[in-house]
Structures are given as C-alpha cells and as structure tokens.
Amino acid sequence: MSRKRIELSIVSFLIIAVLAYAGAGLVLSATRVASAERTLNMVVSHQNVLNSTFNDLDSQFSALSSGSAFNPQQAIVLVDRSISNSELATKTINADETSLSGVTSQLRSTRWLTMVGGTSLDREATRIGHAHNALGAARTIASDKVADGLFWHSLYASLADLTMLNTQSGAGDLAAAKTTLGTMQTDVDQAARQSTAPGLPAELHALMSDLQVFVVDYGKELDAKQAGDDTAAAGYQDALDSDLQKIGSYDIDKIGGEINAFYKPLIDRFNTEIAAATS
C-alpha cells in the first residue's frame, strides 16, 4: 500500500471517528437534556400547589382579625390543615430536590464525551440551578409555617379553653372551671414557648406573657370564690379586667401584616427562581 493511500486511510478514519464522537455526544447530550427537562417540568408543575400552601399563611392568624367573628374551634381546624399542607409541601420539596440532584449529576458526568452538546447541557444546568434555589426558598417557608402553625394551634386551643372556662365559671361549676384552667395554663405556656418561631413578631411573645398573667389572676379569683371570700374575688376580678384590657390592646391586623412582610421576600424569591427555571 502506497504512503499516500495510507495517509488517506488515516485521515478518513479520523474523520469518521470525529463524526462518531460528535454524533454520540449530541445524542447523549440530547438524552440528558430531555431527562433534565422532564424532571424540571415535574418540579415546576408543583408550583401552584406550593403557592397555594404559601397562601395558607392567612388561615393561621385571620381568625383573630378584626374583620371576622372568632370561633376558636374553627380556627384550630384551619391551622391544623395549614400545618398538614406545609408538612406535605416539605415532603414534595425533598423529593423534588432529590430528583434535581440526580439530573444535575447526569448533566455534569462524562463531559469529555458531551463537549459537542455542552452548550445545551450548560443551559439546562443553569435552569436546574434556579429550580434548586426556588426549592430552597420553598423549604424555608414550609418549615417556618409548620413552626408558626403550632404556635397558632396552641393559642387558639387556649382561647377555646377560655370560652369553656367562662361558661363553667358563670354557671358556678368552680371545680370544672379549675380543671379547665389547668388545661388552659398548659396551652398558654406551650404557646409562649412557641411564640418565638420564625416570622412571628415580638408582639406575640408579649401577648403570651400577658395571657400567662391572666391565667394566674383567673386562678386566684377561682380560689377566692371557692373559699367564699367575695371581697378578694372582686379584687381579682378588677385585675382580670385590667389583664383583658391590656390583651385587647394588641393590633392583630398589624401583626398579620408583619408576618406577611416576613414571608414576602421568600415567596418572591421562589416565584422569581421558578420563572428563571422556565425561561
């Protein structure tokens, strides 16, 4: 075989090898991009569900707002539903994060073989990165909402106790009232511990401290009534009236606005990153 023919054969082989490499790289890149796209679309499809969960924030404190009649039992139902939705959202977020991490690893592996299709892989990796950022914000929101919801549950439970307590005390059933007061004290103390959860304004912790004082004064009044000391009972009633006046001075609508202001940047970040992931 002549030297020229050998050289031509080598050149032909190299051309075929380069074309095969390019073809294989394009096919592999396209396959990985398609896989990443399917995963990304699945994550984005959960956006409406997550936004709906974020909107459940209103249910946690709206029952106390000045524009609605307060029903503690209904409020507890709303808050418990919000907590369940946030816990479910966390599970969805964790599953989506796992899926995104899997396709991210695929996009980055054996890059020597996918250099030809590297641009499309890099573009997809950037979009996946935005989706990761969105889920990071969503996870924080969901986690904080669970902690906040537990506080509202305890607070509303204590107010439900108060409704029963007033009924029992008004009917003269002091023994039952003492039992209910013990339950209320447990709920109020728990709410006080939970009142420093992320997103809850300092006013709520102060409110719980005032409620703790109210419970103590209520107990003193019941003790005086059981002892038949009407004078002492009247004095404690004055203290209770003062406690209630202080508790009633808190602006619940303002507190709700502060809570919304805390979550708004996180929700905006989630929506912005999701928009970037789908662009």
Calpha distance 240→277 (Å, rounded): 56
- What would you report as the CA-atom Rg of the chain, rounded to the nearest whole angstrom? 31
Calpha distance 220→236 (Å, rounded): 7
User: Of 32, 257, 51, 35, nearest to 134 (Cα)?
Assistant: 51
Highest mean pLDDT pick, 88-92, 121-125, 216-220, 272-276:
216-220
Q: What is the mean pLDDT of residues 257-272?
A: 88
| Torsion angles phi and psi, residue 278, rounded to 5 | -105, 0
User: Of 196, 202, 88, 83, nearest to 145 (Cα)?
Assistant: 83
217-228 pLDDT per residue, tens: 999 999 999 888
Half-sphere exposure of 153 (CA within 13 A, CB side): 15
pLDDT at 66 over 50: no
What confidence score (pLDDT) does residue 233 get? 87
**pTM for this structure?**
0.79
What confidence score (pLDDT) does residue 10 get? 44
What confidence score (pLDDT) does residue 64 get? 56
What confidence score (pLDDT) does residue 61 get? 56
Where b means 16+ CB within 10 Å and e means fewer, 191-208 reads bbebbebebbbeebbebb
3-state secondary structure of 65: coil
Domain that holds residue 94: 3-277
Tally the domains of the chain. 1
What confidence score (pLDDT) does residue 157 get? 94
